[in-house]
Structure 1
Amino acid sequence: MKKTLARWAQDIWYKDHFIGVWLCPLGFLFCDAVRFRKLLYRLGVLKKQTVPVPVIVVGNITVGGTGKTPFVVWLASLLKEAGYKPGIISRGYGGLAESWPQRVDENSNAELVGDEALLLVRQTACPVAVGPVRADAANLLLAQTDCNVIVSDDGLQHYALARDIEIAVIDGERRFGNGYCLPAGPLREPIDRLQSVDFRIVNGAEKEDEEYSMQLIGDRAINLATGQQKSLEDFSTVECHALAGIGNPERFFNLLATAGISCATRSFPDHYKFERHDIAFNDDKPVLMTEKDAVKCTAFAGSQHWYVPVKAVLEQGFSERLLNLLKAKNNG
């Protein structure tokens, strides 16, 4: 049922704009509610919490995946190379822990802390904490580690946490769909929200004015059961299955197609809780999946299951501009 509703919503937002027009009044109400909530924070009616280190927020204004997680991994690496000690906080979406905030390590259960948090800690080797109140997660890291900058993953709409730098990641292929707010369209906030962020990153397409380009690259696959690595080119001579439970599954399937891999594809809702039968097929063909999905499938994966890690590559010059702004915020 959830899978069907997700696909229906995607069709309305990105393909069948006619139905979106009929839902416009609800979208306008949503936009008004978002603007009013933001005004309450600006006036101090709703209080923002601050932490004693710089906070960099990475997020988007649309529902679904835009490439935030690979960007956060890239950002954490950049900060470490520049001499910072970053800590990462996130909502822990889908996590079922009984208490919050939660520290995350490489052995954490994705069902408790969320798939993205587990992926982040494994890829960055940074301290990670999750919880619905981001300031609590940040303070947990500050109390238990020596981190001196906080990166808030998917925190653009979490105004309860004060921030020093805002970075919005945009899906370059789908952009903003029909341009309407929920439920008529995919927008969490009106498009003009982007005018107030410090940087706009466009994933996978040509950038527009005042935007920076990002590409996701992946050229190898890793076996979930054995850890064996293969070039993606090795799969171009055989038929494969491909599955994805991310915000934009087509991006992953297109990556495989670009590598010359022929796949029967299967899409699942973002943050889908995979079970054994979801990744089982009545043949011996290789099954390719994203790394985000793999963290939830390792326990019951077999030798035919492979995941494809991707890496973000940012345009030249962006790193310097970001680090200069962070330095200015620190000195200010």
Structure 2
Amino acid sequence: MAEKIAVLGAGSWGSTLANMLVENGHDVKLWARNQAQVDQLNKEHINPEYMKNLVYSDKLVATTDMVAAVKGADVILIVIPTKGLRQVAGKLNTIIAELGQRPLIIHATKGLEQNTYKRPSQMIEEEIAPENRASIVVLSGPSHAEDVAIKDMTAVTAASADLAAAERVQRLFSNSYFRVYTNDDVIGAEFGAALKNIIAIGAGALQGLGYHDNARAALITRGLAEIRRLGVAFGANPMTFIGLSGVGDLVVTATSKNSRNWRAGYQLGQGQNLADVVANMGMVIEGVYTTKAAYELSRKRQVKMPITEALYDVLYNGKSIKTAIDQLMDRDLTSENE
């Protein structure tokens, strides 16, 4: 059954999901801030700054007018970087209140808010009043936009405390190459989605320094242990971290050049400084900000996260990556289960 869907955010992931939803038979309006980007999407059906090789459906309508995008929408998908999520959600709250709508809210944001350490769904809950929305669903999992665009087989998770809402999202997105599973562990899904970006920076840095498969496997495995420890400390189900939004998302992000976090780490490993890496990326590197939030949060909760701490020292204290690696390897020996 076709539904009216508004997608807020026309970066690589937002625009790709919007295009896929159109191909799934839905009526989709895509909101972006940049008028030139919107004009290209509407007239030439391209979005070259974010997706160089994708030609979008001519049925996808883009607009810079959030009211026009949202009006009449049964479902709103938010794909905004963490640092801009509150602002967009607050504006959305005003709009849907004035329109008298109560849409289902889905988000695909992966990060933690600076200083408050709030997860995206918590930020949305605080900015969009309950009377102006139905349930909130998290869409996460191993899913590079570049691969979805070429219809590579992909599996993700729709997580919500409201199983019926998660199942609705499952039906909206699923097709012959994109399979959605449901989960009721929002905390685990969001921690997994956010924290894997930290480990991806580390994995890229290792490769940039010339390390090989053994080192990458060790980093991913021990990184997953850190992600699980912090998530469980906040009430996540430990089983979530061996699922799609845990190990699945971690593996794809920490092993692929399509990951901007991996690319950032690789450039750091090659000797570039962080300011230049951030300036040249052209898109938000969520893992840089998540590293700071996770480091501070782990210290507040007294959760051991040595890899995160090492990357924090590299990113924010100027420690060399080689020194950080040496110190990690020289720590006291311990049990794998700790």
Report the TM-score, using the length of structure 1 for normalisation. Answer: 0.32
Report the TM-score, using the length of structure 2 for normalisation. Answer: 0.31
Which has the larger share of strand? 1
